Chains A and B, each alone.
Chain A
Amino acid sequence: MLSAVPRRIFHTFFRKPPAQRVTAKVPPYIRDQDSNTDNEQPLPHDFRIVYPEFLPDPRPEWRNRLRERLERNDMLTRRSVVAIPEFYIGSIMAVTVGDPNASDKTNRFVGICISRGGTGLRAWFNLRNVIDHQGLEIMYEMYSPLIRNIEVLRLEKRLDEELLYLRDALPEYSTFPLDMEPELLPEGAPVPINDIKVKLKPRPWHERWERKNLQGVQDLGLPQRFYNKAKLHEKPWEKYDLMMEYRATIPEEEQADIFQEIAPHYQQLESSRRQSKRRLAQTSRY
């Protein structure tokens, strides 16, 4: 994870010096006049956790500031039409999409968010549920105009970054009623972490879960040779690999720039985020 100290050291000593700007060159990216420096706000600590898709893909060969900016504008425009609430992997959500084949032309699906990814307009998440003893997963694009409504029925986190192991878990761990009521979350409360330990079905599995260092599963009950093999595949040095972390993340300074760009819209984002939480509280009173 991003500990502040090593990053700062890294940036001080190893960062490439900025290329000298030619005086006569018109830079392709010009900041708007309205984003003056007086109103600069501090970067909220949870910005990158709540809105991860606003940070661009860190691959340097795909970066372009103008493109990222246009993409963010489109994202904010779409968010002003359909509120995309705060959610995490492990949250239980209901998504309503327009569907020309359904009888009432809409389609609502409830499920647990097992994975989430993509940056910018490509952002997506996966919902999983078991309906009539049949496991189902649906991938939704967050900014697709087919989406009518996204509700978070239970806002919580789990112990793991991805819950793909629910495919190999007993079905009761991914079964959620379709008429589930939204649950109460008090104002200003931190997002609860559900430390449930899931029981997996016996092998064969989709992946070798013993190698994934999962926190949210019960004892896998494998012979010792599996753990020995997993030990050989461990990469304990990766958490010290500063270069890898640098390549995989957007530096803090650039994050601040990005936030400054969307700062005028941040109040609106936050209010819709609070509203969705309040709506949760209201509906659960009945």
Chain B
Amino acid sequence: MEVMSLLQNTTSVLAGSVGTTRNMSRMKKTRPFWQPKPTRTLYPEELTPSNEAFGSEVISDHLSSSSPLKCEPWERGVWTQTSMRCGIIARKIGVYPMWDKNGRRLLTTLLEVPDNQVIKYIPPEKLLETTHNKNKNRKRPMEMGALVVGADPIDPRLVTKEYYGLFADTGLMPKKKLTKFLITPDAKLPPGTPLYASHYTPGHYVDVLGTTIDRGFQGVMKRWLFKGMPATHGVTKSHRRPGNIGSGGAKARVLPGQKMPGHMGRKKRILRGLKIWRVNTKYNVLWVQGPAIPGATGSYVYVYDSWYHHCRHTPDNPPPFPTFFQDEDNIDEELYHEDLHVFSNPSISFNE
């Protein structure tokens, strides 16, 4: 029955998105088809201060209420090598260096996991019903369900009714960021389950999907690293232009894929096979290998278990499955990879 409301919302959204104008195909802002428009235009509602305060009080009470789980806990699946776990939504908060036990410096990107919660589980048969699913066209559709995960609570007074409807059944506060992770049915989680940074452990590998920094309409020198033309020697008004874009003769046209000026950035880019070096379970922060995670500081990224074959989990080193239940188990505040130098340890010394 939960799915019904989602589908109803979906239809209304699809109807609403038809009339949107778009000028440049690359510039369009897309939402997933199942997500209604989150925010609405605010207008003065002329609430009295006491009413305003009462609203805030109700919201904060709701936020601080203990367990958001409305249903009984589900039976937890057992990890096999074909299992696919849920991912998490994280926020890129910066880059700083760490050192390994040999004194080699490595740059790590810090990803904060802001209040992730499972919103909904969509079983495989329901997922196949949705029209925008490539899996449906396969001869033998994969047995894949989906988990809708949300991050960062948002003030319910700011969102639209349709968007709030996504959360109404689960008794959760609306979330600022929503996404759907494909999973195998054994990795399903009941709505309201919180996901923490301890979903990943140091030494595991992840793929990180982010949206690159928007650079707007750029010329060929910035966009494709062309050389431009000389500053002098008779060059006029062509110092940063591309020059020739094609030949005559039989190919008297511009070939597809010719590098030209245009919009640069704000594309989904995925960086695969990044090692997790360190996890902070108090502030829910992951230290991920490398400074090159797409997106600006503060932008959302999606973190998945790595897709590379050599980076996958093995039976010797299984992941917490379906997730790590941090509220039930004790866990250290800081988890380090075994090769990483811990700052509280003494300086590195080399033995003879």
Contacts and interface: CB of A to CB of B under 8 A. Distances in A.
Q: Do any beta carbons of A and B sit within 8 angstroms of each other in the complex?
A: yes
A66 B59 contact: no
A74 B336 CA distance: 13
A147 B347 contact: yes
Contact of B296 (A23, A61, A71, A141): A61
A24 B60 contact: yes
Main secondary structure of the interface of A (DSSP, over half): mixed
Interface stretch (B153-161, B184-192, B324-332): B153-161
Contacts of A147: 347
A22 interface: yes
Given A70-B285, A144-B103, A100 B153 contact: no
Contact of A66 (B105, B112, B115, B348): B112
Given A81-B344, A105-B352, A64 B298 contact: yes
A77 B94 CA distance: 20
A71 B97 CA distance: 10
Nearest to A102: B350
A44 interface: no
Interface residues of A, number: 35
Contacts of A67: 93-94, 96, 110
Nearest to A148: B347
Contacts of B347: 81-82, 98, 145-148
A148 B280 CA distance: 27
A145 B348 contact: yes
A143 B103 CA distance: 11
A24 B156 contact: yes
A62 B94 contact: yes
Contacts of B345: 81, 145
B60 A23 contact: yes
Interface residues of B, number: 41
Contacts of A145: 99, 103, 341, 343, 345, 347-348
A80 interface: yes
A75 to B, nearest CB: 8
A98 B56 CA distance: 57
B251 to A, nearest CB: 44
A105 B350 contact: yes
Interface string B50-63: 00000010011001
B40 to A, nearest CB: 14
Given A105-B352, A145-B348, A148-B349, A66 B285 contact: yes
A98 B297 contact: no
A70 B154 contact: no
Given A22-B155, A121-B96, A98 B350 contact: yes
Contact of B346 (A62, A63, A81, A144): A81
Contacts of A177: none
Interface in B171-220: 173
Contacts of B349: 98, 105, 148
B265 interface: no
A71 B93 CA distance: 11
B344 A146 contact: no
A28 B153 CA distance: 11
A78 interface: yes
A148 B153 CA distance: 46
B334 to A, nearest CB: 10
Contact of A144 (B105, B112, B114): B105
A22 B59 CA distance: 11
Given A23-B56, A67-B96, A77-B344, A98 B103 contact: yes
B155 A61 contact: no
Contacts of B112: 28, 66
A237 B110 CA distance: 39
B307 interface: no
A156 to B, nearest CB: 27
19 contacts: A22-B154, A24-B155, A24-B156, A28-B114, A62-B297, A71-B94, A77-B343, A98-B347, A100-B350, A105-B350, A143-B343, A144-B105, A145-B99, A145-B103, A146-B99, A146-B103, A146-B347, A146-B348, A148-B347
What 6 pairs across the A-B complex have the smallest Cβ distances? A67-B94, A146-B103, A23-B56, A77-B343, A24-B155, A22-B155
Given A99-B350, A147-B347, 17 more contacts: A22-B155, A23-B60, A24-B56, A24-B63, A25-B152, A25-B155, A28-B112, A64-B93, A64-B94, A64-B297, A66-B285, A70-B280, A98-B347, A105-B352, A121-B96, A141-B105, A143-B343
